[in-house]
Amino acid sequence: MRKPASLGLLLGVLAGCSGLGIAQDKSAANMPPPKVLVIQREFIKPGKAGSTHEKTETAFVQAFRSAKWPTTYLAVDSLSGKPRSLFLVGYDSFEAWEKDAQAVQKNATLAAALDRAGVLDGDVQSDSDSGVFVYREDLSVGSPVALPQMRYFEITAFTVRPGHEKDFEDLGKAYVNAYQKIPNTHWATFQSMYGQSGNVYLVFTPMKSASEVDQEMTTGKQVEQSMGEDTSKKLSELSAASIDHVQSNLFIINPRESYVSDEFANGDPTFWKPGATKKMAKAGTE
């Protein structure tokens, strides 16, 4: 971790059952997606994932907690693809991101702690990068969800062919129209702005359980059948014309590598504060 400042196929991909919400000082009950999303990726050396990487990441969490830092982040670990962790930091604007960066730089104690943690964390990494994305509400579906109760993120990256952004947006909006009336269907779409090669759109689907992947596939088939042959053909043409590459991966939320507010953690304290919950339970029996 570094400083927080520093569509048939597509149907299955987009049919989610829960949207992404990462906030700073907002209610954790139903959090809307952030307008600006900073994603920092760490690719982990073979044999260094799991508890080894968690140990280096807790130093960052402790540094922010000691500073009572207002900007929070979520950490997710890959269950598919190369071993890696993503750190998701949400902001209301680019100005808010800038102010956070400047505040970190001015806090000598915090900056020094982060530098020390970075040296240790670098030893377990094979590579790292970062990207900045903006929320596309017009390509998203569903109301905010109770993010503290989520356990997984399905993240799908669409790389759009140059000059075919309009085709892709038409494709995405067609699926939004097809799914927006289906209960409990949510996904949040973000478009790349900095740090990516090509025009990339990320579709986030938070899930409470991996069983929702099974539900996605069933729902996708039902929606595809309801569209009719002509509509399906048109969407297939838009997909072929606009999408250069698509990749989906599943990530599991890691509470030990995440830095969240007490309000957020109270949305599911057993998951977010397992140590504190055990202590409270023990105290109650004494």
Instruction: Categorize the per-residue pLDDT at 4 as very low, low, confident or very high, splitting at 50, 70 and 90.
Output: very low
Q: Tell if the pTM clears 0.75, that is, is over it.
A: yes
Residue 178: which residues within 8 A CB-CB, separation 6 or more? 223, 226, 227
Q: How far apart are CA 49 and CA 44, in angstroms?
A: 6
pLDDT in tens, 145-204: 899 999 999 999 999 999 999 999 999 999 999 888 888 888 999 999 999 888 999 999
| Domain that residue 62 falls in | 9-285
Give the pLDDT mean for 26-32: 61
DSSP classification of residue 267:
T
The total domain count for the chain is 1
Q: Give the CATH number, domain containing residue 153.
A: 3.30.70.100
Q: Domain for residue 4, yes or no?
A: no
Q: How many CB atoms lie within 10 A of CB 269?
A: 14
Q: Domain for residue 95, yes or no?
A: yes
Q: How far apart are CA 255 and CA 68, in angstroms?
A: 18
Q: Domain for residue 1, yes or no?
A: no
Q: Domain for residue 2, yes or no?
A: no
Q: Domain for residue 3, yes or no?
A: no
**Among 56-60, 140-144, 279-283, which stretch is predicted with the lowest mean pLDDT?**
279-283
Q: What pLDDT score was predicted for residue 170?
A: 96
**Alpha helices (H) along the chain:** 9-14, 51-66, 94-106, 108-122, 165-179, 211-227, 229-242, 262-265, 269-272, 274-285
